[in-house]
Structures are given as C-alpha cells and as structure tokens.
Chains A and B, each alone.
Chain A
C-alpha cells in the first residue's frame, strides 16, 4: 500500500514537472518570468493548447488501450493494433472527401465521423476475433491487423481520389501536434474527461468480466451492455485522439502494462492512473519530438513507436508461454 501511495505522489509530481517543462521548452526561447507580448501569444495560443492536446490524447489512447485489454481479456491490445485507429482515420477521411465536414471549419463534425469509423472497425474486430465465448490473442491480433490494413488502404485510395485541396487536409492525419490550436483542443476537453469518469465508474463490472462472460453473467452483470458501453468509450477516446493528432501507436500498450506492474490489475485504480500517466507520457514524447531536431519536428508517432515496439515484442515473448493462442 505504501509503495502505491508513493507512486501516486510521484505521478502527480511528474505531471506537474512535465507540464512546466513542456511549457518552457520550444524553438522559441521563453523565460516564464519575463515574457514579452509575443511570448505570451506563443505560450497561450500555441504551446498551452498543444500541451493540453498532448495530455488528453495521450491519456485517451492509454485509457482506450487499457479498456481494450480488459474487454478482450488480453494484454496485447490497443487502438492501433486492433485497427480501431485506422477506422477512425477512415471515418474522418471519408467525411472530408465526400465533403460532409472539414477539419478547419467544423472539427467536431470530423470527430463524429471518425467515431463512426472506429465503431465499424471495432465491430469487425469483435466479429472476427470472437471465439467460443472468448477472445484468443492470436485471432484478435490477426483480425486487428487485417482490419487495420484494409481500412488504411481505403484511406490511401481516398487520398488519391481527392483533388489537391482535399489531399492537403488529409495531412492532418499524418499527425502530430504541430498545428494545435484551441480549436482542436476544446473537443478533447469537452469529451475526454466524461469518458474517463464513465470508464472508472463501471470498473468493478469490468473486473469481474476478466473471469469470463459466463462468470460475469452469473454475478449479476449485464455483460452485453457493459461490453457495449466500454466498446463505445474506447472507440470515442480513440476517434478523438486520431482526429486531433493522427495515428499514434503503442501508448495503449505501454502505459497500462507499466501501471499494472506497480498497481495490479484492478481497473478501479488502473483506469485513472493509466489516463494520467498516458498524458504525461505523450507530453514528454511530444516535447522530445519538437526539440530533438529543432526547428523541424519528428512525427510524434515515430517517438512512441521507437519506445513501443520493443515493449510490444517483449510482451509477445512473455505471453507466448500460454496456450490461449
């Protein structure tokens, strides 16, 4: 217990520090105690929304990953691996190509279409990955891979179909936070905290679901509804993150795993901690992405992949000892 209390304090402290750090680091040197008028503009209109975006996207993707892992009872699941992120980007791309919404004019509408896309992807993965009342890691990863590739190819086709103007807009999905502004941040601010609260509220049910659908049902849980709710929450978190920052992978894999190592698998503590640590993680990755080769920027997805792929491979190796494949 004490170890965990200290860890909580450490997390809060790290959050504060990373926020502060990210605010002060950037291609333009700003000293927080002596700011000119332009410095203020940069800080409040560029850096602050950017950092908030990074926080909510990171937290959202980490939490989505934790939800998928609980939902499918598998440690190797996250929005990117399951193809749900690709579904979100397809939804948004379709909206742009067919002129139903524009990321510049009505970003919230684009997020809605991204949400629909992610639900479609999730339904497909659910359908192909389900096996005898459970989910095998093997089937899940493969169907996620298949669905993700298929949907990404559709996005590529849309990009070709689009004329130059629309093509440019799709640069949004090549991602990152370099064009962050309050416009895109307010959607995350409005939706993500609600989703986090909902996820944490029903955590006890998800705990029981870890033992299987039948056991959960016999404990008095309406498993169908809980699964549907969490699927929607995870899809929502994923789609908002993709709309804001494009395809960023592996956060949903790394962060929940680390938290479980320290705090255990109880979702009541796992979910809120994963959210905050995911946020911190992406703030730090984004800060690295924009300082390492300044003034140019690395795509933030590259940084998370560099860190995430080794952990992903390690997890596969560790889990391959079981026979639920």
Chain B
C-alpha cells in the first residue's frame, strides 16, 4: 500500500535557496505513522517546506547544536536527542551526562535508528547538509522541520516558531524582546561611526575566512564592520595572502585557538604591510562567540569592542574581554 505525500516548495525566504527540492515523491512501506492526523498545524520551515506538526509536541530531537540550544532555552525536558557538540546552555550538557538526552550524531552524521527509537514528535535539522537524513525520516512520516537562521531576524523567527510548536510562546517572546532591546543598545553605539574594514580568519593553514550570508559575516556587519571578503558566495572559503593584502583590512580578528599558528603569519612577506597589522588592531575571540545562537549578543559585543576600542593592543596578543 502506498501513500503519496506531495510537498511543494515555495519561494521561502530572503535567501538564495533555489528550487531544487521541487517534488517529493514517496514511500513504499510505512508501517507505523507516528503522527495522529487530528490536531495538527502546518508550518513553513526555513527551506520552504510545508510541514505538518502535531499540536502536542513532547519529544524533540535536534540534529544541530543551535537547535538543541533553542529547545533547551524553552523547555529542556522535552529535548530527548541531541548532538555530541551540544554545549549551551549548561543544562544541556548536564542532561547529556545524566543520559536524559541521547546523542544521535554530530551534525554531519546522524543515526537514523536511534532517532526513530526516541519516538520524536518533532525533529529539527539545519540546512541542506542534513537533507539526506531529513528525507528518509520524512518518508517514514516524521515531522522534520528545518531551522536555519542566517541572521538575527532568522533567529527571532525560528525561536518564535519553536515557541509556537512547543506551546511556549510567552517565554519565547520575552527572550526575543530582551534580545532586541540589548541589540538596539549595541546598534546605537555604532550608528554614526564610520564602518571598519574587517578580516575574520577561521583557519591559518590554509587561510580560511567567512563569506557572504554566513553568521559571522552578519555579526561583523551588526557590530559596525564590513567583512572584506563579504563578496565570497560561500559560507566560508579559502583565500590567498595576496587577496588579504590587497583588501587591506583595518581590523583583524582571529579565533583564539589559532593563536600559535597566527604567529607564523607575521613572517610571511607582505603581512606587515596590512593596515590592521601596522596599527596593531588585532583581536582574538573564542569560537562560541561567533556561533549561531540566541545568546549571540555576547559575541557581538566582543566584536564591537574589538572594532571600536581606543586602547591599542600589542602585536598579536589576545585582548581583554569585556
């Protein structure tokens, strides 16, 4: 017996998702469809799919740290499955250790059997990277929702959507309001200041930076800077030293873990000609500062601090955090 489920895509969001995922044709066997057909809502996720989610969501499995965090902020007890890289908030880590949350993967991999065993009412993925897990799960009848925030508006929308699905609208709204308030404060600080040219480096050898539509890129913009590689059409990409020299950033930001390797850069020809290097305008930040999350404001403040601080800093020593 075959059931056909057809999902049509919409032009989803302001982002450049193309119409690849046109028609979903489907399933051969579907033994136990775990969705009760009564009492459902239909929502549109970040990839443009219309997903049916039942009203009473008690068990959630997340395939990405960002989504685990969002669920836990709203009601951590309902998170039943997460990734091995889930760190925030602290409660998530505790629950993993106490085996209240089952590890089902690490972002690039996901164990379908374990997910099914957890009997989830809702499965959260990120973007296209996880579609190959999303599709078999959808075909088996599960509600798989893609929450893939690229900037603050995305975060807000996704968080509110999740609040709606979990019946925690009020809590979600208050977190968002708080976020917005703090953000406005930060934004006001740099309103009239001229933007700074920023280079954000993720990896030293080879040189990898962030490009357009990546979250760190948005953070830099929100902090009052301009990513010198903002024209890169990828989330992240490899660049050459000559390009960096040519684009001559005024501020250089490195991940703290890269510090020992960054020292080798000083020896490379042309490095010292870069504006930001000459003026010693160099900062180190931690990886959690630029992760996609509701708590991004801490990271944002740090970046802003780095951009507009008056205090000079020694060549390539870590800054003091706020």
Contacts and interface: CB of A to CB of B under 8 A. Distances in A.
Q: Do chains A and B touch in the complex (CB under 8 A)?
A: yes
B139 A27 contact: no
Contacts of B29: 44-45, 182
Contact of A169 (B16, B27, B128, B235): B128
A99 B18 CA distance: 10
Contacts of A185: 28
A319 interface: no
Given A41-B140, A42-B117, A105 B20 contact: yes
Nearest to A47: B113
Q: How large is the interface on B (under 10, 10 to 19, 20 to 34, 35 or more residues)?
A: 35 or more
Contact of A164 (B28, B34, B128, B135): B128
Nearest to B26: A183
A40 interface: yes
A34 to B, nearest CB: 15
Contacts of B25: 105-106
Given A105-B21, A164-B234, A295 B114 contact: yes
B113 A27 contact: yes
Contact of B113 (A42, A163, A182, A296): A42
B114 A27 contact: yes
Interface string A1-42: 000000000000000000000000011100000000110111
B109 interface: yes
Interface in B117-145: 117, 119, 127-133, 135-136, 139-140
A26 to B, nearest CB: 5
A307 interface: no
A166 interface: yes
Given A180-B136, A182-B28, 8 more contacts: A37-B31, A45-B31, A106-B23, A163-B233, A164-B234, A168-B129, A171-B108, A178-B109
B22 A105 contact: yes
21 contacts: A28-B114, A28-B116, A41-B32, A41-B116, A45-B140, A46-B112, A104-B21, A164-B127, A164-B128, A164-B129, A164-B234, A164-B235, A165-B128, A171-B132, A179-B112, A181-B135, A181-B136, A183-B139, A295-B114, A296-B106, A297-B111
A312 interface: no
A176 to B, nearest CB: 10
Contacts of B106: 296
Nearest to A180: B136
A178 B130 CA distance: 12
B139 A182 contact: yes
B135 A163 contact: no
A172 interface: yes
A287 to B, nearest CB: 13
Contacts of A103: 132
B136 A46 contact: yes
Interface of B: 16-18, 20-32, 34, 103-106, 108-109, 111-114, 116-117, 119, 127-133, 135-136, 139-140, 233-235
Contact of B132 (A26, A99, A179): A179
A41 B235 CA distance: 37
A102 interface: yes
Given A26-B113, A38-B117, A163-B16, A172 B132 contact: yes
**List of 3 A-B pairs having minimum Cβ-Cβ separation, nearest first:** A181-B136, A182-B28, A168-B128
Given A27-B111, A105-B25, A164-B235, A41 B132 contact: no
B151 to A, nearest CB: 15
Contacts, number: 123
Interface size band for A: 35 or more
Nearest to A164: B235
Nearest to B237: A160
Interface in A232-285: none
A186 interface: yes
A40 B112 CA distance: 14
Given A169-B128, A295-B103, A41 B114 contact: no
Contacts of A102: 20-22
Nearest to A99: B20
A104 B116 contact: no
Given A102-B21, A104-B21, A105-B21, A42 B116 contact: yes
A182 B26 CA distance: 9
Nearest to A296: B109
Interface string A279-302: 000000000000000011100000
B24 A105 contact: yes
Contact of A38 (B24, B108, B119, B136): B119
Contacts of A186: 28
B234 A163 contact: yes
Nearest to A26: B113
Contacts of B24: 104-105
Contacts of B113: 26-28, 42, 46-47
A104 B139 contact: no
A38 B112 contact: no
Contacts of A181: 135-136, 139-140
B23 A105 contact: yes
Interface in A132-150: none
Nearest to A45: B140
Contacts of B34: 41
Nearest to A176: B109
